[in-house]
Amino acid sequence: MASAAALPDARMLGVVAAGGIIGSLGRWLVGLALPHPAGGFPWSTFLVNVTGALAMGLLVAYLVDRPGAHRLLRPFVGVGVLGGWTTFSALAVDAVQLAAGKHVQLALLYVAATFLVGTLAVAAGIVGGRKVWPGP
C-alpha cells in the first residue's frame, strides 16, 4: 500500500482525468468518422497514434526548453490527453485481427508504418516545436 505522501494531490488526479476524458472522446470520435472494414487498413488508429506522437514531440520541445512550465501541463497533456488519444492496445488488436483474417502482410505493414511514421512524427514535433517555441 502506498503511503499518503506518495499519493498525488487532487488537482493532479483531476487534470490527468480531465485530459483522459478529452483524449479518449476524441479518439472515439475519430473511430466513428473513419471506420474500417474487416481486413481493411485501420486508418483511425493509425491517425490517432501518429498525431499523438507528433503532439508528444511538440510537448517535449516545449517542456525541455521551459523547465519552469506549469507543473500540471505535462500530466494534463502528456498523460491525460495524449494517453487517452493514443492507443497501443487498439494497434495490437487491429494487427492480430488482420493477421487472423489472412492479411498478414497488411498487419506487418500497419505495425511497421505506425512505428516508423510515429517515430518520425515525434522527431518532427521536437524539431518543429523548437522552431515555433525557441528556448529562452
Q: State the CB neighbour count (10 A cutoff) for residue 67.
A: 8
Query: What pLDDT sits at residue 120?
Result: 98
Whether 76 maps to a domain, the answer reads: yes
Whether 1 maps to a domain, the answer reads: no
Query: What pLDDT sits at residue 65?
Result: 76
Whether 104 maps to a domain, the answer reads: yes
The answer to whether 86 touches 75, Cβ cutoff 8 Å, is no
Whether 8 maps to a domain, the answer reads: no
Q: State the CB neighbour count (10 A cutoff) for residue 123.
A: 13
Whether 4 maps to a domain, the answer reads: no
Query: What pLDDT sits at residue 2?
Result: 56
Give the integer Cα–Cα distance in Å for 135 and 61. Answer: 9
Give the integer Cα–Cα distance in Å for 113 and 43. Answer: 11
Domain count, the chain: 1
Whether 2 maps to a domain, the answer reads: no
pLDDT of the chain, 136 residues: tens digit per residue = 555 567 779 999 999 999 999 999 999 999 999 999 999 999 999 999 999 999 999 999 998 877 788 889 999 999 999 999 999 999 999 999 999 999 999 999 999 999 999 999 999 999 999 999 887 6
At residue 66, what are phi and psi to the nearest 5 degrees? Answer: -135, 75
Whether 3 maps to a domain, the answer reads: no
Which structural domain range is residue 62 located in? Answer: 13-32+39-132
